[in-house]
Structure 1
């Protein structure tokens, strides 16, 4: 008899291939830094108490930590103490939640044989630059997420035709992303026309037309 062959796993693909998504900083990072600072401060206090105990013959009850424990042990249980305990329990549960909270997603993958990722803020900058280069105009604002792209552009008088051109240009620009964002275009009032009308109204208010002069009546 021959033994059954043990199935082997498929070999890993050779050559470049997309890697894992880069992730943002974990939510527990700031809490870990703060906790480390508090523990370092507590370590300093403990070292001070040990030094005073061995070199100054200070009694343990007179040390900073000893006085702190005596002070905490002198409290009488009442409603305020129970409330404080409940608050501390809630804070502890929040800290546990942040400890296990996954790292946030903040990148979008680009279709490429290598690992290439971009940030939503870079997508927004690219969208603004694309609209300015393809359609002209300086009144362009963009805001992007991982799945959506919102663009505000000044209306040049063509209305819906401008929206269609901007949407088509951006869809063509970001089709190389693994998940192209949904493009939303909003038209803004033309700043030049608005400023011209405002200046005209200001000049009219500053320099009113002269009142008509009544003709003289000869007697």
Structure 2
């Protein structure tokens, strides 16, 4: 993905600024792929806060020590406990736990960031999220077969759509073909899976006609009563 979309090169003039053995690549260059936050981000923030707190405690100890004032040390009891503690099963267990925790933190710092977007097959850098694909799938399915009971769920590899049975017996094939054609512009189109649900009776007329349930009400075609028809 880091390679330029248009690999055609053009010669540049041989001068002191542009040597003849160099060529510029023209055309749009796709940007880097959007990624999720690294796993070590929040760990680094938490560890930074803990280290800042520890630095504040040490600064307090040094301040009172060099001022020559009497004070209750916060670190001395900890040092005395560590220096006088005997090695037993609990100490070994805590040491193993701390070692495993440090190893886990070390591995987490090298984990790659998760892939969260899907690239559109275009010279420009265009990326979409799986949730956008799911919304587009619901809208396309509703435009194709109508109905309101349509649910879509997508990730970077699969697209699952649930539709009501319209009685034709081919609704799953029509929806799958429509969605496959709709998302063929993606660099890696998701695998489309259509699940047909049994038809249910709905009190919403838009579920049968395919009308927009959020559309404003239409005016009633009825004549306005004349003055003689108004009850006084």
TM-score under structure 2 normalisation?
0.74
Q: What secondary structure does 1:191 align onto?
A: coil
- Cα distance, 1:56–1:126 mapped onto 2, change above 3 Å: farther
2:225 equivalent to 1:178 = no
Counterparts of 2:158 and 2:28, CA distance in 1: 29
Instruction: Please tell me whether residue 99 in structure 1 is matched to residue 109 in structure 2.
Output: yes
What does residue range 1-219 of structure 1 map to in structure 2 within 5 Å? 11-58=23-70, 63-159=73-169, 161-192=170-201
What is the Cα deviation at residue 56 of structure 1? 4.7
Higher helix share: 1
Contact 1:156–1:190 under 8 Å retained in 2: yes
SS at match of 1:143: strand
* Residue of structure 2 equivalent to 1:3: none
Alpha carbons 1:139, 1:191 under 8 Å: kept:
no
Larger radius of gyration: 1
Aligned-partner SS, 2:75: helix
Contact (CA 8 Å) 1:149, 1:184: kept in 2 or not? Answer: yes
Cα distance between partner residues in 1 of 2:197 and 2:190: 21
> Which one has more relative contact order, counting CA pairs under 8 Å at least 6 apart?
1
Number of residue pairs matched by the alignment? 185
Structure 1 distance, partners of 2:99, 2:74, is 26
Give 5+ residue unaligned stretches, structure 2: 1-19, 203-232
Gapped runs of 5+ residues in structure 1?
1-7, 194-219
Distance (Å, rounded) in 2 between the aligned partners of 1:192 and 1:10:
70
- State the alpha-carbon separation in 2 of the partners of residues 9 and 39 from structure 1: 53
After TM superposition, the score normalised by the length of structure 1 is: 0.78
* Aligned partner of residue 25 in structure 2, secondary structure: coil
Poorly superposed stretches of 4+, deviation over 6 Å: none
Deviation, 1:173, is 0.9
Structure 1 residues 144 and 9 mapped into 2: Cα distance closer, same or farther (>3 Å)?
Answer: farther
Q: 1:12 to 1:74 in 2, by over 3 A?
A: farther
CA RMSD of aligned residues (A): 2.2
